[in-house]
C-alpha cells in the first residue's frame, strides 16, 4: 500500500492552560506548513491545527505587561499522528491578565465633613433617624490588599458638605460617599448614597 505525503497549511492554536490573558495570545507566523500522509490527514480531528503550549512559558512572568517569547517549539504531533512542521517554532506575543479579588465589606462607617460654619448653623438628620450611618461596599484589587481589608483594615467613607448645600436646607438630599481605600484597591461598584437633611439649629433668643 502506497501512502503519499501531503503538505497543508494549518493555523497555530495557543493552549493557555490555567493562565489568563488580556485578549488572545498572538503567534507569528499564525499559520505553518505541515507535512503528513494523506491517510493521517483524514484521521485528524477537525478543525486541523497545530498546538503551542504556553502555560509553562509565561508562568511567573509579570502581569499587565506585553510580553514576547521567540522560538517557542510547536507540538509535533496531534494525538498519535506525527507531524513535520515548517517552521517548527513560533514567536508568541501575550499579556497576562492582572489577577484581582472582589469582596464585600458589610458595614463601613460614613463620616460627615463640613466647615465650622455649617456645623454651627445646621444639624444633620438622616431619613431613618439613625446617627451611625454605614454602607456595604464591594471592592476589587490585589488579593493581598483585599485580604488585609477583610482582616480588619480600617476604611472610612465621607460625605463632604459644601456651602452650596446650605441653599437646600430642609430638603431631602442624597450624596454618594467617598471612600479612603489603599492605592491598589478600588470600588467595584458605587455604594448606596446617604440620604439626609440639613436642619437649621434653633438658637436661643437674646433677652
Q: What is the pTM of this model?
A: 0.51
Torsion sign across C-alpha atoms 146, 150, 152, 157:
positive
- The pLDDT assigned to 207 comes to 53
- The pLDDT assigned to 138 comes to 94
Q: Do 101-200 and 5-95 have the same topology in CATH?
A: yes
- The pLDDT assigned to 2 comes to 55
- The pLDDT assigned to 205 comes to 55
**Closest by Cα among 133, 135, 145, 136 to 181:** 145
- Would you say 142 and 101 are in contact if contact means Cβ atoms under 8 Å apart? yes
Tell the CATH topology of 5-95: RNA Polymerase Alpha Subunit; Chain A, domain 2 (2.170.120)
Other Cβ atoms closer than 10 A to 148 = 13
Quick one: cell of 58? 509565561
- The pLDDT assigned to 45 comes to 80
Q: Mean pLDDT per segment of 10 residues, for the chain of length 207 residues? A: 82 87 91 92 86 86 90 89 93 87 91 84 82 90 86 88 79 90 89 89 63
Domain limits, the chain: 5-95, 101-200
Q: Where are the alpha helices (DSSP H) in 9-115?
A: 38-43, 55-58
- The pLDDT assigned to 184 comes to 82
- Would you say 16 and 67 are in contact if contact means Cβ atoms under 8 Å apart? no
- Contacting residues for 7 by C-beta, under 8 A, at least 6 apart: 33, 34, 35
The CA-CA-CA angle for residues 162, 176, 200, to 5°, reads 40
CA 198 to chain centre: 38
- Contacting residues for 97 by C-beta, under 8 A, at least 6 apart: 20, 21, 22, 63, 64
CA atoms within 13 A on the CB side of 164: 2
**Closest by Cα among 135, 152, 146 to 103:** 146
**Closest by Cα among 147, 81, 155 to 111:** 155
Of the CATH numbers 3.50.50.60, 3.40.30.10, 3.40.720.10, 2.170.120.30, which one belongs to the domain with range 101-200?
2.170.120.30
Amino acid at each position: 500500500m502506497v501512502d503519499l505525503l501531503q503538505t497543508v497549511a494549518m493555523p497555530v492554536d495557543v493552549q493557555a492552560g490555567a493562565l489568563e490573558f488580556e485578549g488572545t495570545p498572538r503567534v507569528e507566523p499564525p499559520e505553518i506548513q505541515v507535512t503528513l500522509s494523506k491517510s493521517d490527514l483524514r484521521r485528524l480531528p477537525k478543525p486541523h491545527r497545530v498546538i503551542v503550549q504556553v502555560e509553562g512559558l509565561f508562568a511567573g512572568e509579570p502581569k499587565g505587561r506585553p510580553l514576547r517569547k521567540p522560538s517557542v517549539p510547536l507540538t509535533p504531533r496531534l494525538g498519535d499522528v506525527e507531524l513535520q512542521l515548517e517552521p517548527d517554532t513560533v514567536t508568541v506575543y501575550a499579556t497576562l491578565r492582572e489577577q484581582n479579588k472582589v469582596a464585600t465589606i458589610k458595614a463601613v462607617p460614613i463620616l460627615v465633613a463640613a466647615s465650622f460654619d455649617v456645623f454651627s448653623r445646621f444639624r444633620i438628620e438622616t431619613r431613618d433617624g439613625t446617627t451611625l450611618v454605614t454602607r456595604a461596599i464591594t471592592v476589587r484589587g490585589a488579593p493581598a490588599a483585599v485580604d488585609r481589608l477583610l482582616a480588619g483594615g480600617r476604611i472610612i467613607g465621607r460625605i463632604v458638605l459644601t456651602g452650596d448645600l446650605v441653599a437646600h436646607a430642609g430638603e431631602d438630599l442624597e450624596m454618594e460617599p467617598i471612600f479612603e481605600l489603599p492605592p491598589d484597591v478600588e470600588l467595584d461598584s458605587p455604594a448606596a448614597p446617604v440620604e439626609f437633611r440639613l436642619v437649621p439649629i434653633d438658637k436661643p433668643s437674646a433677652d
